Amino acid sequence: MPRTGRRPGIGGTRDKILAAARARFGEEGYDGATIRGIASAAGVDPAMVPHYFGSKEGVFLAAVEFPVDPAVFIPRLLEPGLDGLGERLVSFFLETWDSPAGGSLLALIRSVVSSDLAADLMREFVTREVLGRLAVAIKLDHPQLRAGLVATQLVGLAMLRYVIKVESLAGASRGELARWIGPSIQRYLTDRAVTARRR
C-alpha cells in the first residue's frame, strides 16, 4: 500500500522559505519582493509559499520576527542604573543589528517606506514594546513621548547606517556611535525639561 502524507526530505522547506524571504525583503523591501522571487531563492515551487504562510503578508510577518525579547534585555539595560543608559541602549541596538538575527530587522526597515504593514510593525515594536517599556520602567512623565523621541534617533540611525549607508556612520564603530548619540538618548529618557511644556 503506498504511503501517504508528507514526502520525505521536505521538513526544512519552511525554514528555507523564511531565509529566502528575509533576504528578499532585506534587499528589495516589501513591495519589491514577490512570492515567486522568494520561492526561486528558496529553491521551491511558488505554491509552497502560500501553502506554509497563506500570503505575501503572512511570509513577511513570519520573516521579520523580532530577534530580541524586551522582557529580557530591558532589565539588563536598567540594572547598572540611569547613568550611561543612553549609551548602553545605543550599543545594544547596534549589537542587535550587527548580529545574524539583524537580517529580519533590515528586511523590516527596508520595507517601512513602501508598506503600511511594515511601518505599523516597526512603530509598534520600537515605541511600545521596547522604548515604551523602558520609559515606563524609569518611572518618568510622558513615557510614550519619550519613547517616540528616542525612536527618532535609533530608527534614523538604522536607516542611515544600514540602508542608506552614509559613510561616516556605516564606517564608525559601535562604541563611537554610542558615545556620539548616547547623550541625546539619555536626555530624551531622563531629562524632565524635555517634557516640561506638556504639563
167 has pLDDT over 60: yes
Q: pTM, whole model, 2 decimals? A: 0.74
| Angstrom distance (rounded) from CA 122 to CA 151 | 10
CATH for 13-63 (1.10.10.10, 1.10.10.60, 1.10.3720.10, 1.10.579.10): 1.10.10.60
pLDDT digits (tens, 9 = 90+) for 86-139: 999 999 999 989 988 787 788 888 888 788 888 887 777 777 778 878 878 888
Q: Which CATH class is domain 70-193?
A: mainly alpha
| Angstrom distance (rounded) from CA 78 to CA 136 | 12
User: CA neighbours within 13 Å on the CB side: how many for 179?
Assistant: 5
Neighbours of 198 (CB within 10 A): 8
The predicted pLDDT at position 4 comes to: 38
pLDDT digits (tens, 9 = 90+) for 3-22: 433 443 445 999 999 999 98
The predicted pLDDT at position 198 comes to: 59
Write down the domain spans for the chain: 13-63, 70-193
Which pLDDT band, with edges at 50, 70 and 90, does 140 fall under?
confident
pLDDT digits (tens, 9 = 90+) for 75-87: 999 999 989 999 9
